[in-house]
Amino acid sequence: MNFPQIRIQSQSARIGMDSKDAELTMQQPNAQVSIQQPKADLSIKQKKGKLSIDQTNAWNNIGLKSSFVRTRETADHARQALLEGIARISQEGDELMRIENDGNPIAAQAERNARYEFFVQHGGMPTYDLVNLSYEVGGAEIDVRPNKPVIDVIPQKPQINYTKGDVSIYIEQYPELNIDFDGLKYVGYRFETEI
Task: Give pLDDT tens digits for 17-31.
Answer: 999 999 999 999 999
Asked if 184 and 193 touch (Cβ cutoff 8 Å), the reply is: yes
- What pLDDT score was predicted for residue 87? 92
User: Which residues on neighbouring strands pair with residue 16, listed in sequence order?
Assistant: 170
- What pLDDT score was predicted for residue 5? 74
112 has pLDDT over 70? yes
Asked if 56 and 133 touch (Cβ cutoff 8 Å), the reply is: no
Residue from 183, 149, 157 nearest 31 by CA:
157
- What pLDDT score was predicted for residue 67? 87
- What pLDDT score was predicted for residue 126? 63
Residue 15 makes CB contacts below 8 A (sequence gap 6+) with: 169, 170, 171, 172
- What pLDDT score was predicted for residue 36? 94
C-alpha span between 132 and 54 (Å, rounded): 5
127 has pLDDT over 60? yes
Query: Taking the C-alpha atoms of 164, 168, 169 and 172 in order, what is their torsion angle to the nearest 10 degrees?
Result: -150
Asked if 61 and 125 touch (Cβ cutoff 8 Å), the reply is: yes
Confidence of residue 110 (pLDDT cuts 50, 70, 90): confident
Query: Per-residue pLDDT tens for 59-71?
Result: 877 778 888 888 9
Query: Per-residue pLDDT tens for 71-109?
Result: 998 999 999 999 998 998 898 888 888 887 777 888 888
pTM: 0.35
- What pLDDT score was predicted for residue 193? 59
Query: Per-residue pLDDT tens for 139-169?
Result: 899 999 999 999 999 999 999 999 998 999 9
H/E element holding 20? strand 14-20
120 has pLDDT over 80? no
- What pLDDT score was predicted for residue 75? 94
C-alpha span between 128 and 191 (Å, rounded): 157
Residue 2 makes CB contacts below 8 A (sequence gap 6+) with: 183
